[in-house]
Structure 1
Amino acid sequence: MKKIHVKYSILILFVATLLTSCKSDDDATTIDYSTVNVFDIFTVQSDNETVIMNGEIKSRTLQDFNNMLAGHPEIKQIHMAEVPGSSDDEINLQVGAKVRQNGINTHILDNGLIASGGVDFFLAGVQRTKGNNTQIGVHSWADGSGNEATNYPNDSTEHLRYIQYYESIGYTNQWSRDFYFYTINAASADNIHWMTEAEITQYGLITE
C-alpha cells in the first residue's frame, strides 16, 4: 500500500508541476493590446482615437471590440467603410451597447455602405455623421425556421430585443418602435431597402 501511495504522490506532483508550467506559459504570452492595431474588422489608426471598421459583424466581434478598447481606451470615433450586416445579432446588439456606453461616435465614410445589423451598430454612436455618396440599407429579419419579423404580430415578444436595444442606447420608446417597424416593413429578409435622404432625416439618423 505504501508503494502505491508513493506512486500516487509522484503523479500528483507531476500534474501540479505541469499545471504550474502551463500557467507560466500563459502568463508569458499575455497579449499587450496597446501594441496591436488590427482587431479583425476594426483597425485602430495612428492617432489612437479613430477606428476604421470594415466587414461583417460576427460572433468574435464583441471580444475583438473589448480587446481593442483594453489596449486603446482613448478611442472616440469609428469610421465605417462597408459593414453589410451581422451574422450574430445578439453579439451585434451587445457591441452596439458598448459603443454607446463608451461615448464613441460613428461616421460613414465617403462611398461607405452600412446595412441591416450595420445600421443598428451605427445608431449606437453618440454623434452620427456621414460622408458623400453613402448607402444605408434596412430590411426585415428571419429566424432559423424561416419566419420573418412581419409574420409575428406587432405585440409579439419576438420584436422586443430590437426595440429594447434602441431604448438602451438612448432612443425613446416611441422612436424605437417607429424605426423598428419601419425597417421590418421596408423590405423582406432577402431584400434590402436603401433609405432615402428624406427617410434618413425623418428618423434622425444623422446628428450633424
Structure 2
Amino acid sequence: MKTINRFTSKFFAIILLTSFLLTSCNSDDDTSQDFSSTFTFDIFTVQPDEQTVIMNGEIKSRTLQDFTNMLQGHPNIQRINMGTVPGSNDDEINFQVGIMLRQNNINTHILDNGIIASGGVDLFLAGVQRTRGENTMIGVHSWSDGDGNQATDFPVDSAEHLPNIQYYENIGYNSQWSRAFYFFTINAAPAEGIHWMTEEEITQFEVISQ
C-alpha cells in the first residue's frame, strides 16, 4: 500500500490556529495536570493515573513505535483523549496504530474544543467507546497520491480504495458501513479541502458511540 499524505500543511495551520483560539477559553473537560508525573511519547502524554492519555499532533512514521512503547510501559491505558489531531502523513502507520488501539480495547474521546480531521478521524474511530466534549470539530476529505490523483479519480471498484475500507473492517465495522463511510469521506471534500461533519452525519455514521 502506498503512503498517502491525507492532510495538507495549509489546513494543518488553519486547524492549529483554530484550536489555539478555542482552547484559549476555559474548558470544563480539561482538568489541571501535574506534568511532573506524566510520561510523554511524542504526541502522546500519559497522565498520572496511567489510564488516560492526552493526544495532540500529527500522526507520523514514528507514531507506531511511540504507541507501542507507551503500551509496553503503561499497560493499563483505557482512554485516549484527543485535543488537536489534524491528520496523518503516513496512513499505513496510522492504520496499524488504530488496529492496535482497538485490539487493546481502548476508548477514544475528543476533548472540549477538540479538533480531529482526516487520519485523526480514522484513529478516533478505532476506539471501542467513542465520546466527545463540547464544541468539537470532526473533519474529513479525500486523499491524493504522489501522482496528482485523488481518490475520486479511481472507479468505485478500484483496488486503490481497498486499504481504507479494509482498515475500517479491521477495527470492527461491517463491510456495508466501511464502504459507506469511506466513500462519504472522499466525496465530501477534495484532498486540498476539508468537510466538517454535521450533527446529522455524525449521527448517521455513529461516529460517537454514546
Q: Which residue of 2 aligns with 1:121?
A: 123
Deviations 1:133-167 (A, max 9, x none): 00000000000111000000000000000000000
Note if 1:162 corresponds to 2:178: no
CA positional deviation for 1:205 = 0.5
Deviations 1:74-96 (A, max 9, x none): 00000000000001010000000
Residues 86 and 116 of structure 2 are in contact (CA less than 8 Å); yes or no, is this contact kept in structure 1?
A: yes
Q: Which residue of 1 aligns with 2:175?
A: 173
Deviations 1:63-121 (A, max 9, x none): 00000000000000000000000010100000000000000000000000000000000
State how far apart, in whole Å, the 1-side matches of 2:194 and 2:102 are. Answer: 26
Q: Which residue of 2 aligns with 1:30?
A: none
In structure 1, the residue corresponding to 2:48 is in which secondary structure?
coil
Larger C-alpha radius of gyration, 1 or 2? 1
Matches for 1:138-157 after TM superposition, within 5 Å: 138-157=140-159
Paired residue total: 174
Pair 164,140 (structure 1): closer, same or farther in 2 beyond 3 Å: same
Q: Which residue of 2 aligns with 1:132?
A: 134
Q: AA paired with 1:92?
A: N
Q: Which residue of 2 aligns with 1:39?
A: 41
State how far apart, in whole Å, the 2-side matches of 1:196 and 1:165 are. Answer: 23
Q: Which residue of 2 aligns with 1:198?
A: 200
State how far apart, in whole Å, the 2-side matches of 1:147 and 1:65 are. Answer: 31
In structure 1, the residue corresponding to 2:76 is in which secondary structure?
coil
CA positional deviation for 1:46 = 0.3
State how far apart, in whole Å, the 2-side matches of 1:144 and 1:125 are. Answer: 30
Q: Which has the higher contact order (CA 8 A, sep 6+)?
A: 2
Q: Which residue of 2 aligns with 1:85?
A: 87
In structure 1, the residue corresponding to 2:128 is in which secondary structure?
coil
State how far apart, in whole Å, the 2-side matches of 1:135 and 1:182 are. Answer: 17
State how far apart, in whole Å, the 1-side matches of 2:118 and 2:201 are. Answer: 15
Q: Which residue of 1 aligns with 2:102?
A: 100
State how far apart, in whole Å, the 2-side matches of 1:36 and 1:116 are. Answer: 28
Deviations 1:15-42 (A, max 9, x none): xxxxxxxxxxxxxxxxxxxx97100000
Q: AA paired with 2:66?
A: D
Q: Which residue of 1 aligns with 2:52?
A: 50
Higher helix content, 1 or 2: 1
Q: Which residue of 1 aligns with 2:12?
A: none
Residues 38 and 48 of structure 2 are in contact (CA less than 8 Å); yes or no, is this contact kept in structure 1?
A: no
State how far apart, in whole Å, the 2-side matches of 1:118 and 1:91 are. Answer: 12
Give the TM-score taking structure 2 as reference length: 0.82
Q: Which runs of 5+ in 1 are unaligned?
A: 1-34
Deviating beyond 4 angstroms after TM superposition, the runs of 4 or more aligned structure 1 residues are none
Q: AA paired with 1:38?
A: T
Give the TM-score taking structure 1 as reference length: 0.83
